[in-house]
Amino acid sequence: MNLLKKINYKWINKFSYPFIIAGPCSAENESQIMNTIKYINKDYVEVFRAGIWKPRTKPGMFEGVGEIGLKWLLKAKKKYNILISTEIANKEQAEIALKYDIDILWIGARSTCNPFTIEEIANSLSNTKKIVLIKNPLSLDINLWLGGVERLVNKNIFNIGIIHRGFTIYPSKTYRNIPCWLEVVNIKNKYPNIPIICDPSHITGNRKLIYEISKKAINFGYDGLMIETHIDPDNALSDANQQITPKNLTNILNKIFINKKKNKLNKLDLYRTNILEIDKNIIYLLKNRLNTSKDIGKIKKKNNIEIIQKEKMLDLKKYYKKICNLLDIDDNYIQNLFDIIHKKSIEIQLK
């Protein structure tokens, strides 16, 4: 039997739709935790989240308060009667989180990238009835993501969900991480028993876009949202730009909850969105190509090399035709496209 078919969808049915997890990127101090949860609308938010250990790109950045933060979460849970959640990045953190009886654990994108790490975490959580969520890896590698899920199932962990936080494909001025909606919705279509939660905070990296991405996720049939919420986001110690105040969170959720009924997936909108993302990728690559053409032009000028080299152009056309044959694409279409690209490249080099 396919391991992924064993995942228990029933756990998420115990929550409202859409299922909402919210709270600060990082637990910074007890006052910040208690004030944030105080103003979060508990009619919408059923799980309070906060990062205790923060895997950062560079050393010297704020890397979380550690175990003491779990005590703050437990205090918040007791006072406001709300479930609590935090990220675990390795087996030691998993064991500590279990010791503090944290309700929902999520595995971050960096950890998902490493099968050895996932295997160790799965061993630490073996047979747990806790809800375990796993974020997509940084790269667009769906098999790596689902492979991590399978490792959890292998250890008799069945209350599982996946978190879509976007992928690192190319630098984007619009999003921090590219959504790649079609790839994720295909998982939902193939495995409807796996709850999917969207993390608009990490997809956008920009609080102004949280509602837009949240709405898309719900329209595409996602089961819930994880949104970073801070009492004073501008002064947050991590990911300040993508966090919103509890008041703004309520405003966003008010709009989303106007229609609580699950929307039927609009495939046309999904494919249009996918085309738009691909087009953005093409434009970004063309920008890189134009910049490279400019650098080539400088080298040619410095070394007195002819801008137009017919033999090189013929070699390129043969190369493109070979690729087209491999991919079963009309080579005339591609040649016409590259004629336009080369014309612009020559124009830049001549300047």
Here the tokens at position 290 are 């134009």
Over its length of 351 residues, how does the chain's per-residue pLDDT go in tens digits?
599 999 999 999 999 999 999 999 999 999 999 999 999 999 999 999 999 998 777 887 888 899 999 999 999 999 999 999 999 999 999 999 999 999 999 999 999 999 999 999 999 999 999 999 999 999 999 999 999 999 999 999 999 999 999 999 877 778 999 999 999 999 999 999 999 999 999 999 999 999 999 999 998 999 999 999 999 999 999 999 999 999 999 999 999 887 655 555 677 888 888 898 888 888 888 998 999 989 988 998 888 888 888 888 888 888 988 999 999 999 889 889 988 988 898 888 888
Residue 100 and residue 172 in one domain: yes
The enclosing domain of 326 has a CATH number of 1.20.59.10
Across-strand partners of 133?
Answer: 106, 161
Residue 64 and residue 177 in one domain: yes
Residue 335 and residue 249 in one domain: no
| Number of structural domains in the chain | 2
Are the CB atoms for 27 and 52 separated by under 8 Å? yes
Range of the domain at 281: 267-350
Residue 33 and residue 72 in one domain: yes
Q: Measure the CA–CA gap between 113 and 137, rounded to whole angstroms.
A: 5
Residue 12 and residue 143 in one domain: yes
Residue 109 and residue 47 in one domain: yes
Residue 240 and residue 273 in one domain: no
CB atoms within 10 A of CB 309: 12
Q: Measure the CA–CA gap between 75 and 85, rounded to whole angstroms.
A: 13
Note every long-range contact of 15-19, with CB atoms under 8 Å and residues 24 or more positions apart, other chains counting.
Answer: 15/46, 15/224, 16/44, 16/46, 16/260, 17/223, 17/224, 17/260, 17/262, 18/218, 18/222, 18/223, 18/224, 18/225, 18/256, 18/257, 18/260, 19/46, 19/47, 19/195, 19/197, 19/223, 19/224, 19/225
Peptide bond into 246 cis (omega under 30): no
Q: Which of 237, 256, 275 is the last residue of a domain?
A: 256
Q: Measure the CA–CA gap between 270 and 185, rounded to whole angstroms.
A: 9
